[in-house]
Homo-oligomer: A and B are copies of this chain.
Amino acid sequence: MPEQSPGSRPTLEAVAARAGVSRATASRVVNGGDGVRKPLVDKVLKAVEELGYIPNHAARTLVTRRTGAVAVVIAEPETRFFSDPFFSQQIRGISKELTAHDTQLVLLLVEGPGDFDRIARYLAGGHVDGALAFSLHTDDPVPAITRRAGIPAVYGGRPSWTADPGDQAVPYVDADNRGGARMAVQYLRDLGRERIAHIAGPADQTSAMDRLDGYRDVLLDVDPTLVADGAFTVESGARAMAELLERRPDLDAVFAANDLMASGALRVLRERGIPVPEQVALVGFDDMDSVASETDPPLTTVGQEIEGQGRLMARLLLRALDRDRTGSGDVPESVITPVTLVRRASA
């Protein structure tokens, strides 16, 4: 690559001059070369190479009205963003997919509720072609913002206001939480367990509620003393486990709504000398790398393709953008990604 020439970079004009063609032809070559005869293509490419030409993105955007960038909006409070490897992995997936389509990722972290104005201004400012956002809450302003800005958006996790998984109001990608929970509980049942408790996640997250629903699907008429509330953290899992043991010392299995809570529960069980899985079988959810396989015993859990979900989100958005551009193609639909039961030693 030629050294950066002092001052300004070469323009298309310069490339055209060097190749002995018009700017229009040079442009055609740079953008794929359709309808340009071979010898000219080669001449232009040679000039590009020699001059180290790189298209000016702003100029291109100005006329095409496309930026080649999408925003990733993360409105989660800091705590979750930090503790949850979930986000990092989804972002990694998103990044991979976008990169493969020459699209850039602009990260928009929402710094508190007053910050949505800035987000709105940014999304409406034509800086990006579309947006990806996560786990919407009931009164989440993001959908309204993107609608007003006139850009397509895809969401990660089922928005809380959608009645059903599968609702098409806004396109989203989510794991089959309910199905996964059913799978887990059914597995415990098949193991012969009869008093299967559940440590639930926070009620304001649809993933937690869907998992609870899945638990209930299998165990019709659940005894409420078998369900304890947690907050998706290790500590809350430990507390919930202690609570459950107090209420139902006879329980013989626990399905925790995520691995972190399962590991907290496991700690309590161990402290009390309750053998896992012999006396109490334990199943988690997420198959989180740094947790599930590192506990003692390792967790049986429900695994999901987190990075794949990110890729899928990006793919749906890119498809929507393509549709906007070409005026045809299919409307993106929400996708529920499959989950699998990962059998380890805890159940």
Chain A residues at the B interface, C-beta cutoff of 8 Å: 1, 3-4, 9, 54-59, 61-62, 67, 69, 72, 78, 81-83, 85, 87-89, 91-92, 95-96, 99, 104-109, 111, 115, 118, 120-122, 124-127, 148-150, 234-235, 289-290, 294
Question: 6 tightest CB-CB pairs across the interface, nearest first?
Answer: A58-B61, A58-B62, A95-B109, A107-B107, A4-B150, A58-B58
Chain B residues contacting A58 (CB-CB under 8 Å) are 58-59, 61-62, 67, 126
24 A-B contacts (beta carbon < 8 Å):
A1-B124, A4-B148, A57-B61, A57-B127, A58-B61, A59-B62, A69-B106, A72-B107, A81-B92, A82-B85, A82-B289, A83-B290, A91-B107, A91-B109, A95-B111, A99-B115, A104-B106, A104-B108, A104-B122, A105-B106, A106-B106, A106-B107, A234-B290, A234-B294
| Bound: A87/B81 CA distance, A | 11
Chain B residues contacting A118 (CB-CB under 8 Å) are 99
Chain B residues contacting A55 (CB-CB under 8 Å) are 125
Q: Are B57 and A126 in contact (CB under 8 A)?
A: yes
Q: Are B83 and A289 in contact (CB under 8 A)?
A: yes
Chain B residues contacting A82 (CB-CB under 8 Å) are 85, 88-89, 92, 289-290
Q: Are B124 and A4 in contact (CB under 8 A)?
A: yes
| Bound: A2/B125 CA distance, A | 14
Chain B residues contacting A83 (CB-CB under 8 Å) are 85, 289-290
Chain B nearest CB: distance from A144 CB in Å? 10
Chain B residues contacting A59 (CB-CB under 8 Å) are 58, 62
Q: Considering only CB atoms, which chain B residue lies closest to A145 in the complex? A: B1
Residues A56 and B88 in contact in the complex (CB < 8 Å), given A4-B149, A62-B62: no
Q: Considering only CB atoms, which chain B residue lies closest to A8 in the complex? A: B65
| Bound: A4/B150 CA distance, A | 7
Most chain B Cβ neighbours within 10 Å, of A3, A85, A89, A235:
A85
Q: Are A121 and B61 in contact (CB under 8 A)?
A: no
Chain B residues contacting A3 (CB-CB under 8 Å) are 148
Chain B residues contacting A122 (CB-CB under 8 Å) are 104
Q: Considering only CB atoms, which chain B residue lies closest to A260 in the complex? A: B290
| Bound: A55/B125 CA distance, A | 7
Q: Considering only CB atoms, which chain B residue lies closest to A104 in the complex? A: B106
Chain B nearest CB: distance from A190 CB in Å? 32
| Bound: A115/B95 CA distance, A | 12
Q: Are B96 and A1 in contact (CB under 8 A)?
A: no
